[in-house]
Structure 1
Amino acid sequence: MNEIHKPYDQKMQKTIEVIMSDFAAVRAGRANAAVLDKITVDYYGSPTPINQVASISSPDPRTLAIQPWDSSILRAIEKAIQTSDLGINPQNDGRVIRLAFPQLTEERRRELTKQVRKYAENGKVAIRNIRRDAVETYKAMKKKAEITEDDLKEYEKEMQDLTERRCKQIDELAAKKEAELMAV
């Protein structure tokens, strides 16, 4: 790959990493601590991710146990989970919060599949925006006579190829996540 594309490729890779973390947060019927990654709890006045104030374990495939290091924030964690879009009611026994993940219904699977497709489409839009920025930069370079017309055409084609590869990668990740959702 041409050196000139490197910063744009790195931005595209970061976009894919964000999509992968979004996909991980979509629960597939199994207990997965990643579903809690986006939920924050008010801890001494600042929003803090749950995994930074508690240990999270999975005693069985359908349950997560959240044990805060400071028991005074147990209620705050419970409230944060209730107000999130997780759709699971936490059970608080005074020391540990348990989340029981129900079996996914067909309707819920379809909703989650739509959510995965939305994340994938947003990712592809972000990738295309990166391509647009790159092409604008290349055109500005051509205008300043830093590169030739032939260079411009070559860079645009290489950037288009890179964009198509990254979009294909997003499609593959989305298809894998959708298959995981429908197979549970």
Structure 2
Amino acid sequence: MKKAVEATQRAFNTIRTGRANASLLDRVTVEYYGAPTPLKSLASISTPDASTLTIQPFDPNTLGLIEKAISTSDVGLTPNNDGTVVRLNIPPLTKERRQEFVKMAGKYAEEGRVSVRNIRRDAIDSVRKQEKSGDLSEDESRDLQDQIQKITDKYTAKVDELLEAKEKDIMTV
């Protein structure tokens, strides 16, 4: 369940908030020597100010490939190549765009909650099988199921807290 919450946090990190953040480019992969390679492996990404990302490739020959990968990705930013680095200017978000990002964050949060509930279902099924086979008494089974539900509630609450923080971050102008 902890991993499901962490995966939700990583998904939230890929949503733009109007400020430059290197994690916006986490999902970008570059076709490098015929293999999809994460952008982080090919370049250093820095944020010189709140509205700019700079990407300094380790190999200058990959500059065009990086620019192309960013253009075709779902990041929604246009790269500017000055011959040595790629710059991404992050425009301020409109109210409508912010609301779209809040909806996207809500979708990611729901996926996280569903994955936590799937883990709960698997754990409860396992306890019920042990009860059926006689390894656990009915009372022990019920106690374990209650504990599993409490843990599930705790982790879904964590996902909700992450969502609330991300929504606040997105809507802050």
TM-score class, shorter: over 0.9
Q: CA deviation at 1:58?
A: 1.1
- RMSD of aligned C-alpha atoms? 0.7
Correspondence for 2:156 among 167, 176, 183: 167
Q: CA deviation at 1:93?
A: 1.1
Q: CA deviation at 1:149?
A: 0.6
Count of aligned pairs between the two proteins: 173
1:55 counterpart SS class: strand
Report runs of 4+ in structure 1 exceeding 3 Å deviation: none
Equivalent residue number for residue 113 of structure 1: 102
1:153 aligns with 2:154: no
Q: Give the TM-score of the pair, scaled to structure 2.
A: 0.98
Q: CA deviation at 1:154?
A: 0.6
Structure 2: which amino acid aligns with 1:110? Q
Q: CA deviation at 1:132?
A: 0.3
Structure 2: which amino acid aligns with 1:33? A
1:47 aligns with 2:26: no
Q: CA deviation at 1:92?
A: 0.7
Equivalent residue number for residue 27 of structure 2: 38
2:4 counterpart SS class: helix
Structure 1: which amino acid aligns with 2:103? K
Choose 126-135 or 140-149, whichever is displaced more.
140-149
Cα-to-partner distance string for 1:122-171 (whole Å, 9 max, x where unaligned) = 00000000000001101111111111111111111111111111111111
Q: CA deviation at 1:119?
A: 0.3
Structure 2: which amino acid aligns with 1:44? Y
2:168 counterpart SS class: helix
Q: CA deviation at 1:25?
A: 1.1
1:138 aligns with 2:127: yes
Q: Where do 5+ consecutive residues of structure 1 fail to align?
A: 1-11
1:72 aligns with 2:61: yes
Percent of aligned pairs sharing the same letter: 47
Correspondence for 1:89 among 78, 90, 103: 78
Q: CA deviation at 1:183?
A: 0.8
Paired with 1:41 and 1:110, the residues of 2 have a C-alpha distance of 30
Paired with 2:47 and 2:153, the residues of 1 have a C-alpha distance of 39
Q: CA deviation at 1:94?
A: 1.4
Q: Give the TM-score of the pair, scaled to structure 1.
A: 0.92
1:56 counterpart SS class: strand
